[in-house]
A and B are shown apart, each in its own frame.
Chain A
Amino acid sequence: MASISFTVNARPHTVDVDPKMPLLWVIRDVIGLTGTKYGCGIAQCGACTVHLNGVPVRTCSLPVTAAANKAIVTIEGLSADNSHPVQQAWIENQVPQCGYCQSGQIMAATSLLKRNANPSDSDIDAAMQGHVCRCGTYPRIRKAIKLAAQKMKNPTSKS
């Protein structure tokens, strides 16, 4: 067991867990934030994506020790009231179907837009290709990212 400290959505946490435990299970089962999902366990689908010091990471394959003294942001930390422009663009385009992969999709899109305010189709492909959606919401994800980019410049933008 190891004692590891980090912040989750700006709140400090110290957990006493098996140091090999993937960050995903710490977030879901120890901290109790279940918006971050398990999809494959081998970093192939992106459902478990959170931001670690601002960078998107696959928590299913990242040992908790990698998060020591770092800042984690999960879907719940983006905004609880859906006020973040990416969440708003997702709702306006009615992106989710089953919704299970969408936390990871949204965290990846948020990270993309932080780095690149005007992503092209190929920028979107590059940033999002690690994220699997079985319902096939990809066309709407693409539209929502473009709308979110506009909203970040002008919050009143509509699809």
Chain B
Amino acid sequence: MITKTISRRNFIKLSGMTGTALTLGIGFSALGKDSPVLTAALAEAQNIELNAWISIDTAGTVTIINHRAEMGQGSFQAVPQIIAEELEVDLNQVKIVFAQGSQTKYGSQITGGSSTVRGSYKRLLRLAASAREMLLEAASRKWNVARTKLVAENGRVIQITTGEAISYGDLVAEAAKLQPPKEVKLKSPRDYKVLRKPMPRQDIPMKTNGQAVFGIDKKIPGMLYAVVERNPRFLGKLKSFDDSAARAMPGVKHILPVKMRVFSHDREGVAVVADSLWAALQARKALKVEWDDTAFPHHNSEQLYAQMREDVKNKPALSFRTKGDFKRAFETSAKKLEAIYETPYEAHACMEPLNCIAHFQNNKLEIWGPIQGPDWVQADVADLMGLKPEDVTVNMTFLGGGFGRKAFLDYPHEAAVISKAIQAPVQVFWTREDDMTQGPFRPGMVYQCRGGLSDQGRLQAFETRMAGQNMDHQNPGADKMAYNSNVTEGFLETYLNSMPHYSFSDIPLESPIPVMWWRSVYSSTNGFAFESFLDELAHAAGTDPLAFRRNYFWDARYHELANRLEEVSGWKNRKPNEGWGVAITECFSSIVGEVVKVSRKPDGKIKIDKVWAVMDCGWYVNPDTIRAQVEGSIIMALAAATKHEVTFKEGKAVERNFDSYKMLRITDSPDIEVHVVDNEEKAGGVGEPGLPPFTPALTNAIFDLTGKRIRKLPFALEEV
């Protein structure tokens, strides 16, 4: 399989390499919905931008455009797997081409919100089925045999009675002249041959022999290398710099002040550009830079958390989601509980630090890099650089991790600014320290939860007040009084229906620290508060924690998940001297339940014996990819719960590298068993929803074993 990038304008030309081809796409509709499937010819005739995903040439080669980034979550495989199913081709005959950034052409391309599959699968299935039907129709005409006597299989059309076969390649010329069908019948999941099967991922062999090209590996002719000394405080200005020593160093080409956009502010720095990365890194050390950091507060973590603790108790909240009368229901409850939960700031710490290549010439910009949202980068960087979006081309490489960080536009913007200034192609390289200390970070949060139980142990009042930075408040012109619509993220939808009186609200914290999405976003911290507190309420009610949750399931889907979790984990066979914890969260339209079992080792330290996860993500593509994503989500959650956090001192991030931001290692990796629910529900996310339930399931298990309730993260597992 070949991976290469093509120009969007040249797609139709290029995909028809052997001349004639059946090229099908979805016409972009301004209304967004029900866009028609069109052939290239029809689209051209009607001057419609073609959202082109499939092209079959006369050799029978199928070219599929992958419009999403591949950062480890398996979209490289998922998109072709969806298409291969309805097109009736072997995955091995499929060539995958990374799309370039273009919002009009592909719709949203952001690989975030676990959206790759759930955002596009229905359109992809319809597109592939349309191509298949056109090939069948072409064969029917060619042979003069009724359509009902033909089947499509493995890249060929076959006559059922005679067994005579013709390859797709021999049908494309005829098929390309046909009108795409108005309606297509999609397969029942029971008949899937490729979907829902653990197909091996096609990007994996490139990742075991060093051939996969990540952003950091990409080189273009004449490319220079830049590193940037940026202000370690988030709103600081550049006062002055002395580059006399740096300029004299070998290989140095340019030294210049540079600004990149971070939400509403410009992050200032000094860029050192050289003919090699090593030369640039050396010269950067010889720079002398003075910053002006007078105009904003220099926070310490202690101050931030003291403020948030004060806020959840006393500051009026921006109310968001309420039902019934929490206050009255709480006051009249037989048993009242209250607890404060604290979660830390985190770095994304992708193994591939940020980097980006930009080439600005003749008022056009081309970008290459590990980018989660190429269409966003195209639009936003064009805007910041005063270019038209069509003059900005964004090429995706493989991403060495993303987790939300590589959906941000700062690093492509900075590369573009430098390239424009020096009039040469340049790769901007971020050291691990740059990557870890500049943010944006996952915001740390403090939650105050209150709950009331009736004398029968029924939950009658539930409240969460969340204090912390609101990601949306950082945008230019943001309304700082706007509530955070994500205060219930992570909470089961069914609880919002079944619980009679609740209130979820937030108290935004003002700080110069830039914050943004981190795998599973607000659910990554909300889940800990919600599911720890439900466990506390279950214990206060004297009810089994899983049974307690079941009392508030109104939908059979949740009961099925709980039953499966109970069965696979052996929840009913819990033994003394074992600690068992459960948590169930919902995010990006997927429901995940996890059970953790812990015990004490002979030396008295806590050991995670096993983790069971049940993922209900509705319609899905590849069960092995789901298992891998849930395993990875659990390990990332365990790391954030027990190993690392970002702290701030005098307005600067303290943790600079893996010596202080301690990553989870194989020695701490638990035994994990993942189960995937088979149902016909709408597709939900896969890459993130496995993360939020893990930490509360772990701390609930620790409580079950030790009676000690952990309400502040991170904590040292070996010290419990």
How many residues of chain A get a CB closer than 8 Å to chain B's CBs? 59
- State the CA gap A81–B399 with chains docked (Å): 22
- B663–A134 touching, CB < 8 Å: yes
Interfacial residues of chain B within 395-413, with CB under 8 A of chain A in the complex: 398-403
Neighbouring B residues of A34 by C-beta, 8 Å: 210, 213, 216-217
- B207–A39 touching, CB < 8 Å: no
- Main SS at interface, chain B: loop
Neighbouring B residues of A36 by C-beta, 8 Å: 210
Complex partner residue of A139 from B250, B398, B631, CB under 8 angstroms: B631
B319 at the interface (CB under 8 A from A): no
- State the CA gap A116–B629 with chains docked (Å): 31
B200 at the interface (CB under 8 A from A): yes
- State the CA gap A45–B349 with chains docked (Å): 11
- State the CA gap A139–B667 with chains docked (Å): 10
- B665–A82 touching, CB < 8 Å: no
Complex partner residue of B210 from A76, A124, A128, A135, CB under 8 angstroms: A76
- State the CA gap A125–B667 with chains docked (Å): 5
A-B contacts, CB under 8 A, total: 174
Neighbouring B residues of A44 by C-beta, 8 Å: 657-659
Interfacial residues of chain B within 651-694, with CB under 8 A of chain A in the complex: 657-659, 663-667, 669, 671-672
A38 at the interface (CB under 8 A from B): yes
Complex partner residue of B631 from A74, A75, A128, A136, CB under 8 angstroms: A136
Interfacial residues of chain A within 1-59, with CB under 8 A of chain B in the complex: 17-18, 21-22, 25, 28-29, 33-42, 44-45, 47
- A106–B208 touching, CB < 8 Å: yes
- State the CA gap A96–B73 with chains docked (Å): 10
A72 at the interface (CB under 8 A from B): no
Complex partner residue of A94 from B73, B201, B210, CB under 8 angstroms: B201
Complex interface bits, A67-102 against B, C-beta within 8 A gives 1, otherwise 0: 000000011101111100001001100111111111
B507 at the interface (CB under 8 A from A): no
Given the contacts A35-B211, A87-B208, A90-B208, A41 and B432 also touching, CB distance less than 8 Å:
yes
A151 at the interface (CB under 8 A from B): no
- A82–B666 touching, CB < 8 Å: no
Most A C-beta atoms less than 10 A away, residue of B204, B214, B667: B204
Given the contacts A98-B72, A136-B636, A138-B669, A38 and B278 also touching, CB distance less than 8 Å:
no
Complex interface bits, A127-157 against B, C-beta within 8 A gives 1, otherwise 0: 0111111111111111000000000000000
- Main SS at interface, chain A: loop
- B204–A99 touching, CB < 8 Å: yes
- A39–B666 touching, CB < 8 Å: no
Neighbouring B residues of A132 by C-beta, 8 Å: 351, 658, 663-665
Interfacial residues of chain A within 93-126, with CB under 8 A of chain B in the complex: 94-103, 106, 124-125
Neighbouring B residues of A133 by C-beta, 8 Å: 351
Nearest Cβ in chain A — how far from B260, in angstroms? Answer: 21
Complex partner residue of B216 from A37, A78, A101, CB under 8 angstroms: A37
- A97–B73 touching, CB < 8 Å: yes
- State the CA gap A45–B436 with chains docked (Å): 14
- B210–A74 touching, CB < 8 Å: yes
- B278–A21 touching, CB < 8 Å: yes
- State the CA gap A75–B205 with chains docked (Å): 12
B209 at the interface (CB under 8 A from A): yes
- A136–B657 touching, CB < 8 Å: no
Interfacial residues of chain B within 255-301, with CB under 8 A of chain A in the complex: 276-278, 282
Neighbouring A residues of B431 by C-beta, 8 Å: 41
- B277–A25 touching, CB < 8 Å: yes
B353 at the interface (CB under 8 A from A): yes
- A96–B204 touching, CB < 8 Å: yes
Given the contacts A100-B352, A134-B401, A78 and B209 also touching, CB distance less than 8 Å:
yes
Nearest Cβ in chain A — how far from B491, in angstroms? Answer: 25
| 5 A-B pairs closest in CB distance | A35-B210, A136-B635, A100-B400, A99-B207, A98-B72
What are 11 A-B contacts defined by CB distance under 8 Å?
A41-B431, A75-B210, A82-B205, A96-B72, A97-B629, A97-B632, A102-B208, A136-B633, A136-B669, A138-B635, A140-B631
**Chain A positions near chain B (C-beta within 8 angstroms):** 17-18, 21-22, 25, 28-29, 33-42, 44-45, 47, 74-76, 78-82, 87, 90-91, 94-103, 106, 124-125, 128-142
